[in-house]
Chains A and B, each alone.
Chain A
């Protein structure tokens, strides 16, 4: 029951992404191409999502706990460091090259499109590469201490 509900929540997201144009690299890249073939549509995706999430979260987070779990598990860190800035900048470069972000690509896997498969495989490789690099640097720091 909980898993079916979770599946349906994923489905709402997947339909939203499909409608929005976030899984269309041509549209995504045009949003950023202000100097060329600019298409401002994605501002409406972001605006609509933020509108619902901003007011929805206010209502939901007033409750003592979520429906299926004992506690809310939201990120609490407020640290703005080089890792956050550098990682986000690197993500931006990759998004600008490929035109897919993770949330746009994952639902699009359902279309069987080859470019989506290629991007997602590279995305997964990149995640493991970064985790490996982070673990290696943590080991070096532990050894130096």
Chain B
């Protein structure tokens, strides 16, 4: 499935993701890692810790609705893989980000922006393995 190259809107989205990360650091002194925020929301250490995570997640989930209000449609979600691959992929992502202490937002944006050696190594590692996996799935297995 081909997708259109969208450098300007993708850049604009990236600038907003970066802005949200900076604002969360300025307001609460935390990195904006989706994995860490979700894990802390699911297993909170206190009610105040849970409350800010819930507020942040509520804001994140409202994002597509604001997008809908301006663009007239939800952001495109085109899924070229099966439900089974969604389940298997989701499970594997959950295990990986927990052991690896972060994902694209936590390591890839916040950690790399702080020049954290851990995050730079983590990001290079998961990008490499995502690339290998996509190659194997599409060009070796032909799925």
Chain A interface residues (CB < 8 Å from chain B): 2-27, 29-30, 32-37, 39-42, 44-54, 56-57, 59-61, 63, 65-69, 71-75, 77-80, 83-104, 106-111, 113, 115-116, 118-131, 133-134
Q: Give the residues from 43 to 99 in chain B that come closer than 8 angstroms, CB to CB, to chain A.
A: 43, 51-52, 55-67, 74-81, 83, 85-99
A58 CB, nearest partner CB in chain B, Å: 9
Given contacts A45-B13, A78-B118, 19 further A-B contacts (CB under 8 A): A4-B55, A6-B59, A7-B55, A9-B24, A10-B63, A21-B3, A25-B77, A33-B135, A33-B138, A49-B113, A52-B22, A53-B22, A73-B29, A74-B30, A75-B31, A87-B122, A91-B126, A92-B126, A125-B94
Chain B interface residues (CB < 8 Å from chain A): 1-35, 38-39, 42-43, 51-52, 55-67, 74-81, 83, 85-101, 103-105, 107-114, 116-118, 121-123, 125-139
Chain A interface main SS type:
helix
- Which of B57, B61, B109, B117 lies in contact with A49, CB distance below 8 A? B109
Whether A80 contacts B117 by the Cβ 8 Å rule is yes
- Which of A44, A46, A120 lies in contact with B90, CB distance below 8 A? A120
Report 14 cross-chain contacts, Cβ distance below 8 Å, ordered by A residue.
Answer: A10-B55, A17-B63, A21-B6, A33-B138, A44-B6, A44-B14, A45-B11, A49-B109, A49-B113, A87-B98, A88-B122, A90-B92, A92-B96, A96-B136
| Known pairs A99-B80, A100-B90; A66 contacts B2 (CB<8 A) | no
* Residue of B with least CB distance to A118: B86
* The 5 residue pairs across chains A and B that have the minimum distance between CB atoms: A14-B63, A126-B94, A10-B59, A20-B13, A98-B89
Whether B132 contacts A96 by the Cβ 8 Å rule is yes
| Known pairs A36-B139, A95-B93; A13 contacts B59 (CB<8 A) | yes
For B35, the chain A residues whose CB sits under 8 A away are 102, 127
Whether A122 contacts B90 by the Cβ 8 Å rule is yes
| Known pairs A87-B98, A90-B95, A102-B35; A11 contacts B60 (CB<8 A) | yes
For A13, the chain B residues whose CB sits under 8 A away are 16-17, 20-21, 32, 56, 59-60, 63
* Residue of B with least CB distance to A66: B29
A73 CB, nearest partner CB in chain B, Å: 5
Whether A84 contacts B3 by the Cβ 8 Å rule is no
